[in-house]
């Protein structure tokens, strides 16, 4: 199902300021066939899909999910964008509800800590669309693939970073402009969207 047909089914943000996704879950993440299910959900127009799997992204902190999954999604990384998919309960299949085109990402960096690795995105624009709701996110967000639960998959995250580094190119004419992620004024911190506190502390 194309994401455009999902828009009207999503409700307004709830009182807590978070967007509900009723009837959606991560799906059969432990199934051996989950990769095939994800690939079948991504239209051919997205080109080749190079990475799929369970991941966490701080840009999802404003999506209502169980506390143990609050920044998790099934992820596909294609030729042109990063796709965030959820399983439509009770019968499936996966549906793409969020798209993050490379053209909307200013830069990527890789942070490593202990045995972990996290990709840091700098967004030139600080808004994304979830269903029919536009919400603000921080200029800086972080992402990594997971093996299970909250255990990070450092190898896969590093491989994805190398791929993304070659895909995300600074827009023409902006080469000499400062990154929006540099020199953040402390007094503006409360207006930056949702935060990333303790993200790198999670296993």
For the chain, give every domain's residue range.
Answer: 3-201
pLDDT band of residue 6 (cuts 50, 70, 90) is: very low
Tens digit of pLDDT for each residue in 120-173? 998 876 788 877 778 788 889 999 999 877 789 999 999 999 999 999 876 555
CA pair distance 39, 55, nearest whole angstrom:
16
192 to 130, 139, 149, 158: CA distances (angstroms): 18, 7, 28, 27
Q: What is the CATH number that goes with domain 3-201?
A: 2.30.29.30
Looking at per-residue confidence, does 89 or 67 come out higher? 89
The total number of residues written for the chain in this structure: 203
CA pair distance 73, 118, nearest whole angstrom:
16
pLDDT band of residue 177 (cuts 50, 70, 90) is: low
Closest CA to 79 of 106, 43, 53: 43
- pTM, to two decimals: 0.78
CA pair distance 70, 60, nearest whole angstrom:
7
């Amino acid at each position: 199902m194309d994401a455009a047909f999902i828009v009207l089914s999503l409700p307004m943000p709830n009182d807590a300021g978070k967007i509900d996704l009723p009837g959606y879950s991560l799906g059969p993440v432990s199934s051996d066939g989950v990769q095939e299910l994800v690939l079948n959900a991504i239209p051919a127009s997205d080109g080749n899909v190079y990475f799929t799997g369970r991941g966490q992204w701080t840009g999802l902190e404003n999506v209502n999910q169980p506390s143990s999954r609050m920044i998790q999604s099934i992820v596909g990384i294609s030729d042109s964008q990063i796709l965030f998919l959820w399983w439509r309960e009770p019968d499936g299949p996966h549906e793409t509800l969020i798209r993050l085109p490379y053209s909307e990402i200013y830069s990527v960096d890789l942070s490593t800590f202990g045995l972990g690795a996290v990709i840091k995105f700098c967004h030139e624009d600080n808004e994304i669309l979830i269903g029919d709701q536009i919400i603000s996110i921080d200029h800086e967000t972080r992402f990594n693939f997971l093996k299970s639960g909250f255990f990070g998959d450092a190898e896969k995250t590093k491989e994805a970073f190398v791929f993304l580094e070659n895909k995300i190119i600074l827009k023409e004419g902006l080469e000499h402009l400062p990154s929006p992620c540099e020199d953040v004024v402390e007094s503006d911190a409360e207006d930056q969207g949702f935060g990333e506190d303790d993200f790198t502390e999670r296993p």
